[in-house]
Structure 1
Amino acid sequence: MTEHHVINPLSTGVDYQTLAERFRPLFQRIASGAVAREQTRALPFEPIQWLKEAGFGAVRVPVEYGGGGASLPQLFELLIELAEADSNVPQALRGHFAFAEDRLNATPGAARDLWFKRFVDGDIVGCAWTEIGNVAIGDVVTKVSPDGDKWKLNGEKFYSTGSIFSDWIDVYAQRSDTGADVIAATRTRQPGVVQSDDWDGFGQRTTGSGTSRFNDAVVEADNLIDFATRFKYQTAFYQLVLLATLAGIGRAALNDVAHQVRVRKRIYSHGNAAHVSQDAQIQQVVGEVAALVYAAEAGAIKAAYPAQRAYLARFGGDDAVEHEANVAAEIESAKAQVVVSELIQRATSELFNALGASDVREGKSLDRHWRNARTVSSHNPVIYKARIVGDWVINGVEPPFVWQIGNGPAKS
């Protein structure tokens, strides 16, 4: 009998309901503490630990390596369900799933297999890309320098989402010897890494998006990755995580408004029914919120299919097909961003039309849905994405696959 060796198994999808049922009890457990964490600004260390132990971080790893084998649309469906429980948690895992996606796109071999094993064993990766302080756009102040058979990492980053919960940090840096941009996958638990929970935004307050400082942090040679090899649909991928988060926020808001209407006893003398739940105008408001959330979720999931095609095209051997798939992934995620951001911000505001003054009290924390949606929507400014889509539709100008933020030139 000839022995068969699977050289490069891909994650093409599994039965979604079976996959989701593994995690739904955890999602419910996470949801039960979400409001309390919001009110006390308690970081979700325990929920993320539960997910690690359940293998959630390995859902995209091929089944042949012990992972979940999920396709990208299935991953984002799961993240919608998780965001419905607590929208901070999927955003905290955004860097992890992006780094895992990069390893899925890496050249098959021992180095990639080792990362697959780490993910299956429960390792989580945070991110630290954004330079802090007075930095010109395009400059990378964070440096990695040769040190024997290892490297030393020095610098400071903000928006290091999820890193405070992680075992590793995906750090965007520059080599001191060649000036090349790299990813330095750095172990979190070492003396050279200091993390601060100093994110003070009005929404998504427990994503762990604070400052990370690196002072001669050790980076193993095998964990220094040329940024030029980074998976090409990365910008689309990062946006898709945010779209899933927005859709989950919408589902949570819909659940809350339906519950509040259902149990509400006080009515207005000029209302339309003896019970709020029977008032036709209130029903209309909740129905409209449900429709907004439905459209947002449908758009978020549909936008994930081009990214899956880009992933498969990576190993298809046709550069033109792969490039076309990467363009489609970027354009469709951008189109979805433009509309989903508006839909969920509207839904999380309109819900109050079905309620009363008592429902804006801090004890109910219903405002968290709009604050979280507005915060998520502020990433990757939507106005620029609309312009990029328009330029593509009109002129066929391809979208940028990588972009940066920093200070512009001094005003004359």
Structure 2
Amino acid sequence: MTALNLASRGIVTPALSLGTDYERLASRFRPIFARIAEGALARERDRSLPYEQIEWLRAAGFGAVRVPVEQGGAGASLPQLIQLLIELAEADSNLPQALRGHFAFVEDRLNAEPGPARDVWFARFVAGELVGNAWTEVGSVAIGDVITRVSRDGGRWVVNGEKYYSTGSIFADWIDVFARREDTGEDVIAAVRARQPGVTHRDDWDGFGQRTTGSGTTTFAAAEVEEIDIIDFATRFKYQTAFYQLVLLAVLAGVGRAALRDISHEVRSRRRIFSHGNAPSFAQDPQVQQVVGQVSSLVFAAEATAVRAAQASQRAYEARFGGDAQAEHEANVDAELDSARGQSVIADLVLRATTLLFNALGASGTSEQKRLDRHWRNARTAASHNPIVFKERIVGDREINGTEPPYVWAIGAGPAAQQKAA
């Protein structure tokens, strides 16, 4: 049921982000994306974290593009957000992943019950405040368990624990921390201020790709959190795992666009040819042109799939306030499945594209100065999140048996590891 239909029945619905003029929206940020792209190779070589580049985006209001227009944001739809993240990922694929936790928290607030608490967060987003991510615990923690705790300390609430893969938190004003309440045992989200004495960030991510996402360790030692910012995890937006995956699909599609940009430039610029080639220049060689055409086609399909996969999540968002529980449920199922389907094919498309580019360049394409291998490394790293084999099995189980997909899952030590440790 649409918001218009509900309004005709006297039911008030919150302002929704249903989309805007994409070209006008993107034109605000494309000059910034171009500046970001200029230094991407140097940051890769030096492993220099993009603090300055994040600040450019913050100042331009990038973090508020999904906030409704009525609340000061741009009112972008989810497919439009994904398209924007693809453009940003072409400039530097580390940045949309660094902002993944922020946009997930924004999405959660978009789905929250309207009221003063939600309005406060919208105002923070519009003011440029960013949110990082701290969910995953490593080591001997049992699967399904949460060691990070939220507890009373006199008259205040504090968070204690350690998280890894805390992507973007090193750049953020707030951190979205998955924790457990000491008093009730309930799982919660604690929105913790990132810049306080009880929070320590370490850039110790050691993956061979996506090196400057700030995806290292965050430690919380009696870090304060306001009671109003302790949010029951049961109220978390239902299509969250689909959303997190969509951002990675945008990262992958953007990597593909960057690879296409670089192979085209390298071919145009190359002056040496092979005696057994087909033209007096690489740029005119039909076989080289064919390789670039293959890469272009693979990237086109990846980008189109990513944007298409986001449509189901947009429907789930709109259904949240549509007054039809069954329609909302079905939309959440579709969101999860479409993100998984997209993951399966986009990873393959972009990994092929980032390998094929070397077929058009020869040995000089492997130069460390050019670091064209970063495109494959970045794609392989982004594609390794949330193992594809499990997602493909989930989709297959749905097609064959009608099994509903899981919406929340965890990682941790299995029974065998726990028995060994004991």
Could you say which TM-score interval applies, normalised by the shorter chain?
A: over 0.9
Offset at 1:64? Answer: 0.5
Q: CA RMSD of the aligned region, Å? A: 1.2
* Partner residue, 1:154: 160
* Partner residue, 1:177: 183
- 1:304 counterpart SS class: helix
* Partner residue, 2:47: 41
Q: Distance in 2 between matches of 1:401 and 1:148?
A: 36
Aligned length, in residue pairs: 409
* Partner residue, 1:79: 85
Offset at 1:6? Answer: 8.0
Equivalent residues in 2 for 1:182-261, closer than 5 Å = 182-261=188-267
* Partner residue, 1:386: 392
The letter of the residue matching 2:171 is: F
Q: Which of 239, 263, 272 is the aligned partner of 2:278?
A: 272
User: Is the 1:90–1:241 Cα contact (8 Å) retained in structure 2?
Assistant: yes
TM-score under structure 2 length normalisation? 0.96
- 1:119 counterpart SS class: helix
Offset at 1:7? Answer: 5.8
Offset at 1:148? Answer: 4.4
Q: Distance in 2 between matches of 1:278 and 1:23?
A: 34
Q: Which of 290, 311, 331 is the aligned partner of 1:305?
A: 311
- 2:410 counterpart SS class: coil
The letter of the residue matching 2:302 is: A
Q: Distance in 2 between matches of 1:370 and 1:377?
A: 10
User: Is the 1:310–1:322 Cα contact (8 Å) retained in structure 2?
Assistant: yes
User: Would you say 1:395 and 2:401 are equivalent positions?
Assistant: yes
The letter of the residue matching 1:343 is: L
User: Would you say 1:116 and 2:122 are equivalent positions?
Assistant: yes
Q: Distance in 1 between matches of 2:154 and 2:77?
A: 40
- 2:416 counterpart SS class: coil
- 1:348 counterpart SS class: helix
Q: Which of 362, 376, 385 is the aligned partner of 2:382?
A: 376
Q: Distance in 1 between matches of 2:232 and 2:152?
A: 15
The letter of the residue matching 1:153 is: V
Runs of 4+ in structure 1 displaced over 4 angstroms? none
User: Would you say 1:92 and 2:98 are equivalent positions?
Assistant: yes
Q: Distance in 2 between matches of 1:47 and 1:298?
A: 27
User: Is the 1:136–1:406 Cα contact (8 Å) retained in structure 2?
Assistant: yes
The letter of the residue matching 2:114 is: P
Unpaired segments ≥5 residues, structure 2? 1-10
User: Is the 2:104–2:244 Cα contact (8 Å) retained in structure 1?
Assistant: yes
User: Would you say 1:13 and 2:22 are equivalent positions?
Assistant: no
User: Would you say 1:360 and 2:360 are equivalent positions?
Assistant: no
- 2:318 counterpart SS class: helix
Q: Distance in 2 between matches of 1:119 and 1:165?
A: 14
User: Is the 2:175–2:192 Cα contact (8 Å) retained in structure 1?
Assistant: yes
Offset at 1:147? Answer: 3.0
- 1:161 counterpart SS class: coil
Identity %: 69
* Partner residue, 1:138: 144
* Partner residue, 1:404: 410
Q: Distance in 2 between matches of 1:268 and 1:342?
A: 30
Q: Which of 250, 262, 269 is the aligned partner of 1:263?
A: 269
